[in-house]
Amino acid sequence: MTDTIFVTGLSIHARHGVMEHETEVGQRFVIDLELYTDLSEPARSDRLVDTVSYADVVATTTAAFKNTNYKLLERAAGAVADAILVNFPRIRAVKITVHKPHAPIAAIFDDVGIMLTRSRHP
C-alpha cells in the first residue's frame, strides 16, 4: 500500500533560468510535492516520529531548490528529489511539480513547468 503526504503551492524565490536577468534578479517558483510512503504506522500510533514532518520536508525542499542556481527546472527539481530521498528514508518515491509562472515566453499562458517523479527503486 502506498499513501501520500503532499505539500502544494510552496512559493520560493530563486535564480534559475538560462537568461541573464533570471539569474541576476530571480523570480518566484511554485512547487507541489507528493511524497509516497506507508502511513499505517503513524495512523495507529499518532506519533510524529513515525511519519515525515511537513516542516522538515519544506525546509529540505527550500534549501535544495535555492542553494544552487540551475539553468533548467529539470535539474532544480532533480536536486529536490535527491535531497528528499536522501533525508527521508520513509519516503519511497516523490513527485515534484515546479511551476514557473513568470517564464520569459512571448505568449499569454496560465502555467508552465515540469513534473518529475523519482523513486528509490526504479
CA 6 remoteness from chain centre: 10
Contact 23, 70 (CB under 8 A): no
Q: Determine whether 100 is an active site residue.
A: yes
Give the DSSP H or E segment for 4. strand 3-14
Residue tagged active-site, from 66, 71, 95, 100: 100
Q: C-alpha grid cell for residue 36? A: 509516497
Residue 100, classed as helix, strand or coil, is coil
d(Cα 50, Cα 41) in Å, to the nearest integer? Answer: 6
Which active-site residues does the annotation give? Answer: 100
